Amino acid sequence: MLENLAYGFSFVFQPFPFLMLVFGVVIGVIVGALPGITGSLGIILLLPLVSQLDSRVAMVMLCGLFCASMFGGSISAILIRTPGGASAAATMMDGYPLAQKGYAGKAIGIAAIASFFGGILSTACLILIAPQLSKVALQFHGADFFSLAVFGLSMIGGSSGKNVIKGLISGVFGMFIATVGIDSIMGTTRFTFGSVALMNGFPLLTVLIGVFAVSEVFQSAGKRFSEIDLPKQELKNILPSWKEIRSILKVSGISGLIGVFIGIIPGTGGAISSFMAYNFCKKISKNPEEWGQGSLEGIAAPESSNNGTTGGALIPMLTLGVPGDVVTSVMLGALVLIGVRPGPLIFLEHAPLVYTIFAGMIVIQFVMLAFSLGFARISPVILKIPQTMLMPIVMVLCVVGTFSLSNQLYNVFIALLFGLFGLFMRRYDFPAAPMVLGVILGPMAEANLNRALVVTNNDWTILFTRPLSLTFLIVAAGFIGMTIYSNKKDSRKEQAEKEAQA
C-alpha cells in the first residue's frame, strides 16, 4: 500500500495535477461560501472540464472541490448567518455569535483548523477502510448487491425528507427512469416509444444537472433576493493561538469520527453529521453553557464533522458503487463520464486512480488549510457576488455543460425537462437525492437480482437465506419502520402543541 501511496503523491505533486488540485480547492471554497450554490452544483459546473482531463487529475480536482466546499459553507454562516450549504448550518449557531462579538476572523480560523482535523481523520479512515471493504465486497453474491442497493435507497429515502413515503417514491421513480432504453439482460428496448434517442436511456449526468442545478435556477427565479448585509469589522486574528487550538482538539477528533461514520452510511452527509456532532459534543463539553454564545468548540464540532464525512462518503462510493451523499452521487457520475466504474474491482482495475485520490485527499487538507487561513481576510468579497447575476450565469453554464457531454441539444432539452420535474418535486416536498440514487443503483439492482435468480433457478428466497443479504434487508426495513414511527410521533407532538396553544 505504501508503494501505491508513494506513487499517488508523486503524481499529485506534478505541476499540472497540483495546479488542478489547488483550482478545485479554490472553487470549492467559493461555491461553498455562496448561499444557494452547493458542492454538487460546483462539480456539475466543472463537468465539461472533467471530461477533458486525465481521470486522476479530474478526481483530485473534484475531491478538492468537495472538501473545500464543506469549509466554504462556514464563511457565510459566520459572517452573514446564512450557511453556504446545509452542512454549515450548525456552524452558524456559534460562528455568528462569535462574529458579532468582533471575532469573525478567529471564527473562520477555528473553522479552517477543525475542517483540517476532520479532513485528515476522514482521509486516514478512507485509506484504512476502503481496501478492506473492497476485499469483502469481492465476496458479495448477486443477492447481496441487490439488497445493498435496497439498503442504500431506503437509507437515503428515509433520511432525506419529512415524509418517508415520498423519499421512497422518489427512489423507485429514479430506478424506473434507469430502465428506459435498451435493457442489459435481453437487449430489448423498454419505454422508448420508438424514439431512437431514448434507446441509450437518460444519461445520469443529464438527469443530475436537471434535477439539482436547473431546478435550483428555476426555483430561484421566483425568489426575491435582498442585498447581503456584510459585517463592517475587519477580519483579523485569524490564526488561533496554540491554547485555542488545543482546546478544540478533543472535540475535533470526536466530531471527525462521527462525520466519518455518518458519511459511510448512504444517504446521510454533512448536514446530519454536523448537527449530531454539535449535540453530542455539547453534552460532553466542560462548558456547555458557552455553546450558542460563540464557543470555539461549538464551531469546531460541526466543521470537523462535516469534513469528516468527505472521506467517509467516498468509501462506499469507491468500493461498492453506492454514493454516500448527493455530492458523491455527482462524483460517481463524473467517474462514469471518464470511463471508471466504481465497485469492488476498482482496486484491481484502477489502482493508480484510487491511490492518487488517497494521496490527493491528504494534500488537499493541507492546501485547504493554507488557502483558508490566507484567504479568510478577503473572503467577504465572495459574498458580494449578487445571486441575481450568479443564477443566470449558472444556467448558461448548465446548458453548455450538458451540451458538452454529448454534443447534442437533445440532452439539454432532457436536462430542462428534468429541471422542471425537479421544480415540481421541490414544490411538493419530494426529495431529489433518492431519485438520483435510484438512477445510479437501479441498473446495479436489476443486474444483480437477475444474476441471483439465474444462479438459483428463480429461487427468490436467496434474498433471505444469504446472511449478508438478509442483514441489509432487515436493517433497511428497520430503518424505514423507525423513521415512520418517529415521524408520526413528531407530528402527534406538534398537533398536541398546536391544540394546547389554541
Partner 1 sequence: MKENKVADFFIGIGIVVFGIVVFMLSSALPSAPTGLGSRGYPMFLAILLIVLGLTLALPIALKGELKGELKIQFSGFKDPHAVIKIAVCVAMSFLYVFLVARLGFLLLTPIYLFGLMMLFGYRKYVLASVVSILLPVGVFFLFTRVFYVFLPTFRLF
Instruction: Catalog residues that contact partner 1 under the rule CB under 8 A.
Output: 48-49, 51-52, 163, 165-166, 168-169, 172-173, 175-176, 179, 183, 185-186, 188, 190-191, 214, 217-225, 386-389, 391-393, 395-397, 399-400, 403-404, 407, 409, 412-413, 416, 419-420, 423, 427-429, 445-446, 449-451, 453-454, 457-458
**Cell numbers describing residue 387:** 445571486
Interatomic CA distance for residues 64 and 365, integer angstroms: 8
CB of 30: closest distance to partner 1 in angstroms?
16
Closer to partner 1 by Cβ: residue 211 or 376:
211
Interatomic CA distance for residues 409 and 338, integer angstroms: 21
State which H helix or E strand residue 237 sits in: none
Do 317 and 332 form a contact (C-beta atoms < 8 A)? yes
Beta strands in 71-127 (DSSP E): none
Closer to partner 1 by Cβ: residue 163 or 304:
163
Closer to partner 1 by Cβ: residue 458 or 501:
458
Interatomic CA distance for residues 119 and 414, integer angstroms: 37
CB of 158: closest distance to partner 1 in angstroms?
13
CB of 143: closest distance to partner 1 in angstroms?
13
* Cα distances (angstroms) measured from residue 245 to each of 85, 116, 299, 327, 377: 25, 12, 12, 30, 19
Closer to partner 1 by Cβ: residue 88 or 473:
473
Interatomic CA distance for residues 299 and 114, integer angstroms: 8
CB of 291: closest distance to partner 1 in angstroms?
33
Closer to partner 1 by Cβ: residue 48 or 231:
48
Q: Is 239 helix (H, G, I), strand (E, B) or coil?
A: coil
Closer to partner 1 by Cβ: residue 224 or 283:
224
Closer to partner 1 by Cβ: residue 331 or 423:
423
Nearest partner of 68 among 372, 317, 300, 315, judged by Cα: 372
Closer to partner 1 by Cβ: residue 348 or 389:
389
CB of 268: closest distance to partner 1 in angstroms?
22
Do 434 and 157 form a contact (C-beta atoms < 8 A)? yes
* Residue that the C-alpha cell 436489476 belongs to: 446
Neighbours of 259 (CB within 10 A): 38
CB of 84: closest distance to partner 1 in angstroms?
19
CB of 48: closest distance to partner 1 in angstroms?
6
Helices (H) and strands (E) in the chain, counts: 22, 2
Interatomic CA distance for residues 460 and 495, integer angstroms: 43
CB of 399: closest distance to partner 1 in angstroms?
7
CB of 66: closest distance to partner 1 in angstroms?
22
**Cell numbers describing residue 483:** 423513521
Closer to partner 1 by Cβ: residue 100 or 189:
189
Interatomic CA distance for residues 182 and 192, integer angstroms: 9
Nearest partner of 88 among 47, 25, 31, 27, judged by Cα: 31
CB burial string 340-361: b at 16+ within 10 A, e below? bebbbebbeebeebbbbbbbbb
Closer to partner 1 by Cβ: residue 220 or 279:
220
